[in-house]
Amino acid sequence: MEIVKHGTGAAASTARPASAADIPRCVAMMRRFVAQTGRRGTFRADLVEQTMRLLMEGGILLVSGRGMIGGLIMPLWQTGEPVAHEFFWWGDARLLAAFEEAARDRGATAIHMAALEGRVARHYERRGYRKLETIWLKEF
């Protein structure tokens, strides 16, 4: 993916593929994200770093001055259709637009996104996403 610029002036956000130098900032953002979601368990910076490196090698990991977004393109198990699966999105709408572009450039025909109901879900709908299913979690 090439650098994708959105907007102009001070409001501009440049999304670009992450590099190894971005990993500490990505781990710090993920630590804050996990703390805000109320997930139980101990945050494992080593696993987050490993995931970031894997996404840089074989997935999509984009960063900007405002955040990060990452995921993988995998065949949909029912049809084989290449679908991008978002793992996390921390930042503004420009990052999502860059993720969509990167996924299309790599042959994805759709994107699966996850969100709680509310503001983010409404944002997805405005961008043309439709609710497909609800994810349920049972912790042990």
Bridge-based pairing state of the strands 67-75 and 82-90? antiparallel
The first and second tokens of residue 122, run together, are 């409404």
pLDDT digit string, tens, across residues 17-39: 999 999 999 999 999 988 887 77
Distance CA 108, CA 103 (A): 5
Q: What is the pTM of this model?
A: 0.82
Q: Where are the domains of the chain?
A: 13-126
Say if residue 107's pLDDT is above 90. Answer: yes
Place of tokens 């084989």: 80
Which superfamily is assigned to 13-126 in CATH? Answer: Gcn5-related N-acetyltransferase (GNAT) (3.40.630.30)
Q: What is the mean pLDDT of residues 44-60?
A: 96
C-beta of residue 62 within 8 angstroms of C-beta of residue 101: no
Separation of first and last alpha carbons in the chain? 40
The first and second tokens of residue 3, run together, are 């650098």
